[in-house]
Structure 1
Amino acid sequence: MTDRLRFGVFHAPFHLPMGQNPHLALKRDVEFIQHLDRFGFDEAWIGEHHSCGAELIADPMTFIANVAPKTTSIKLGTGVVSLPYHNPLWIADQFILLDHLTEGRAMLGLGPGSLTTDAHMIGLNPLELRNALEEDVDVLMRLLRGEKVSITTDRYTLQDAVCELRPYSDFEWAVAAIASPTGPRLAGKWGGGLLSIGATLSALVPDGVDTLALHWDVMEEVSAQNGHVADRSDWRLVGPMHVAETREKAREQVRHGIDAWFEYVQDVQAAAHFQVAGKTTDERIDFIINSGVGVIGSPQDAIEQLAKLQAQSAGGFGAYLLMTHEWANWPDTIRSHELIAEYVFPEFQGSLDSLKASAQWAKDSRAGLADAQLRSVQNAVDKHAAERKARQG
């Protein structure tokens, strides 16, 4: 078990219901990360998407460069760069620049691209994206490590390619994984971290595959084959949550936007990694809760969900990333993240242990110490009375 569970968000973002002013939505994305920074979240991963009308951030590195100076400590990751869409040399150069500009607060997340409509627009066959990702990660890692690379693929040619600038930091990097073994294979081969986006989706993928077991088994196997030790602190699990002070209040709040999110996943988003179920609002809320996909409830429900995931992972993981959504309105969404920081973080970070121990020690010692205090007060009263009597005498 890892010692201190980190918390973050995996921010696509889903700006739903549609019809919002996109410029204001992007401004809220910046403000959202600033709120997370104040609440003490450890990290935020920002997505890359180009179609479907709701996920508006086309370049996570540009977004990170903008928000980094407006925050103080939260680490900011590309969640993820769809690497097959790009020339690996430019991604290497751009991320090294970002590493310098953020002075080591940037993290590099990589994936094949989740929206098939994105791939279609640039003429890529979705069936080839995972093979392309494996090829491109190999090239990218060599470039980031200072090698000179010459290679010709179906998508680009590199001739004596080398990054002229070296990284500022020993930055963290990770590969996304949903159901296939591609992500853990690449992370294990090159010694990276793992973003298990399908962490809570075991009940929804074909044949009920335990995605956590699949991901980590592959990670350990391939890491060992390549001389690395798979580190659970570099394993991040992703899943959705919305919490309020009570379960009833949380259910009421998500009525704001959960139907729009379901309709987007069911009918618009060209990423059929899993199928959500339900047609009415109550059916959809119940589906999220009863399937174990996410949490709509109280902070205690969030704590119980994380405890189950820790047990299922059979050894623990390093961070839990909240898959962001707009099920609730803006104030209730911010309040949900504040409640998680206030009441869920401490249960998994040990920040209350010393306070509880101090309170218990005070409780156990109270009777004896209180009696001593009373005797001390009485001694002072008696002393003053004696001195007064002596002066008057």
Structure 2
Amino acid sequence: MHSKAFGCFLPPFHDPSVSPPASLKHDIELCGLVDDLGFDEIWLGEHHSSGWSTLSSPEMLIAALARETRRIRFATGVIPLPYHHPVHVAERIVLLDHLTAGRAILGCGTGTYVHDMEMIGVDPSTLRAHFRAALKTVQALINGETVDTATPWFTAKKAVLQLRPLRGGIETVVASSLGDPGIELLTETETTPTVHVVPPWGMIRPGMDKDPVGSLIERIEAYRNKAAGATRVRCNVFVHIADSPAAGIDELLAGFSSLRRGLYRNVLGMPIPDSPVAHRKTMETLVDTGAFIIGDAATCTGMIRDLMDRIGDPVSLNFFVPQWIPYPATLEQLTAISNEILPALVGGFDGTAESMRLTSEEAARQMKARTEIDNGGSK
């Protein structure tokens, strides 16, 4: 993978007013588009309750997409390890590794929705320890080890995988806030992190963090100082191309407000003020602090380049795709990001710009020479 890579993060959100088959069809079409557009990877989430978060098995969707795509890598974004037996997680990701011809990434985390945990008897107070034990077991199995272990949450007896990774290993990425415990886990397990520029956006309030990007960079630096060597950081960021930040906010506000109200406030019970002024102020704060990148293509490119420079190489930037705008407009946004922003970030326009400069200079010299000849001949 190149030192800089670009992908998409597709959360498991589906508008309850849209039919489930239509929502899933949109997900499949979107994944096919980002493959055609040349994105490096796409992350597909998992939740089990709320009515909004209806993608319950990213592995099944990835298996369906494997035959519909050619080159893009697929990441589970993320599998909550405490919800599953680690032997089954390891088996499924290795099977996906074969079905996708080596394009599977294991993205894992602890889980977030309390009702997801309640439905299957997972104790939220044990998540960290449960996750750590499960991750250790999954890694050992993927590495070809036979595992015998008994924990308060699962048991594995002479557990071994019948299939082994297609090409010797599977990349494992952990969702992390990069706090001290998270950094310790990453370095201990030799995994890499995926982080949001800001925390789950339903919880954002104006004034919560006056410099979210600066806070993120500090956490990344702390992680890299403790990790051995240069390690890849995946960063999820929201980008929207519009004539101006104000115009972009106007385009996004209805969908942004609907998700905050419908999911985070009404279903998850978060104390979010539900007024047009409050929702707009929240989004304006996210834009003003650089947590959301909204503006014309040149503005977005400059802000993304600055963010990536501050994160440092190697970095993968994944564009968050919450579909706050109508589905056709979402596809247009991804196309514009691919065609207008990504080439500028990797020097894709440099050759044509240099050719135009040199050609213009040569044309000016030739014109000057012809003018001098003509003037000399007229004497």
Q: State the TM bucket, normalised to the shorter chain.
A: 0.7 to 0.9
Using structure 2 for the length normalisation, give the TM-score. Answer: 0.86
Do 2:149 and 2:155's aligned partners in 1 also have CA atoms closer than 8 Å? yes
Do 2:251 and 2:325's aligned partners in 1 also have CA atoms closer than 8 Å? yes
Using structure 1 for the length normalisation, give the TM-score. Answer: 0.83
- Larger Rg computed on CA atoms: 1
Q: Which runs of 5+ in 1 are unaligned?
A: 375-393
Q: CA deviation at 1:109?
A: 0.4
Match of 1:383 in 2: none
Q: CA deviation at 1:322?
A: 1.5
Q: 1:179 to 1:198 in 2, by over 3 A?
A: farther
Do 1:199 and 1:212's aligned partners in 2 also have CA atoms closer than 8 Å? no
Alignment partners' CA distance in 2, 1:268 and 1:67:
33
Alignment partners' CA distance in 1, 2:35 and 2:180:
33
Q: CA deviation at 1:179?
A: 5.4
Residue 331 (str. 1) matches residue 331 (str. 2): no
Alignment partners' CA distance in 1, 2:345 and 2:133:
38
> What is the aligned-residue RMSD (CA, Å)?
3.0
* Equivalent residue for 2:222, pick from 217, 225, 230: 217
Q: 1:352 to 1:74 in 2, by over 3 A?
A: same
Q: 1:204 to 1:337 in 2, by over 3 A?
A: farther
Alignment partners' CA distance in 1, 2:123 and 2:182:
19
Alignment partners' CA distance in 2, 1:269 and 1:215:
33
Equivalent residues in 2 for 1:330-349, closer than 5 Å: 330-349=327-346
Deviations 1:343-363 (CA, angstroms, capped at 9, x unpaired):
211222121122222221112
Q: CA deviation at 1:369?
A: 4.8
Alignment partners' CA distance in 2, 1:206 and 1:296:
18
Residue 134 (str. 1) matches residue 132 (str. 2): yes
Match of 2:187 in 1: 188
Alignment partners' CA distance in 1, 2:255 and 2:239:
14
Do 2:241 and 2:248's aligned partners in 1 also have CA atoms closer than 8 Å? yes
The 3-state SS of whatever aligns with 1:108 is strand
Alignment partners' CA distance in 1, 2:361 and 2:273:
52
Q: How many percent identity over aligned positions?
A: 27
Equivalent residues in 2 for 1:303-314, closer than 5 Å: 303-313=301-311
Do 1:177 and 1:198's aligned partners in 2 also have CA atoms closer than 8 Å? no
Do 1:199 and 1:237's aligned partners in 2 also have CA atoms closer than 8 Å? no
The 3-state SS of whatever aligns with 2:152 is coil
Do 2:196 and 2:237's aligned partners in 1 also have CA atoms closer than 8 Å? yes
Do 1:10 and 1:46's aligned partners in 2 also have CA atoms closer than 8 Å? yes
Alignment partners' CA distance in 1, 2:108 and 2:345:
27
* Equivalent residue for 2:275, pick from 252, 275, 279: 279
Match of 2:76 in 1: 78
- Higher mean C-alpha displacement, 180-189 vs 321-330: 180-189
Do 1:52 and 1:268's aligned partners in 2 also have CA atoms closer than 8 Å? no
Q: 1:153 to 1:48 in 2, by over 3 A?
A: same
Residue 54 (str. 1) matches residue 30 (str. 2): no
The 3-state SS of whatever aligns with 2:67 is helix
Match of 1:26 in 2: 24
Match of 2:173 in 1: 174
Residue identity matched to 1:100: H
The 3-state SS of whatever aligns with 2:352 is helix
* Equivalent residue for 2:294, pick from 272, 296, 316: 296
Match of 1:13 in 2: 12
Q: CA deviation at 1:40?
A: 1.7
Deviations 1:11-60 (CA, angstroms, capped at 9, x unpaired):
113223x3111111011010111111122211100001101111221111
Q: 1:56 to 1:216 in 2, by over 3 A?
A: farther
* Equivalent residue for 2:148, pick from 144, 147, 150: 150
Residue identity matched to 1:286: E
Match of 1:160 in 2: 158
Q: 1:37 to 1:251 in 2, by over 3 A?
A: same
Q: 1:218 to 1:268 in 2, by over 3 A?
A: farther
Q: Which runs of 5+ in 2 are unaligned?
A: 372-379
The 3-state SS of whatever aligns with 1:359 is helix
Alignment partners' CA distance in 2, 1:4 and 1:246:
31
The 3-state SS of whatever aligns with 1:146 is coil
Do 1:285 and 1:296's aligned partners in 2 also have CA atoms closer than 8 Å? no
Q: 1:126 to 1:230 in 2, by over 3 A?
A: farther
Match of 1:102 in 2: 100
Q: 1:246 to 1:292 in 2, by over 3 A?
A: closer
Q: CA deviation at 1:65?
A: 0.7
- Higher mean C-alpha displacement, 209-218 vs 322-331: 209-218
Residue identity matched to 1:186: L
Deviations 1:162-194 (CA, angstroms, capped at 9, x unpaired):
112110023322111135344443332232221
Q: 1:129 to 1:43 in 2, by over 3 A?
A: same
Do 1:4 and 1:348's aligned partners in 2 also have CA atoms closer than 8 Å? no
Match of 1:365 in 2: 362
Q: CA deviation at 1:114?
A: 2.1
Do 2:252 and 2:325's aligned partners in 1 also have CA atoms closer than 8 Å? yes
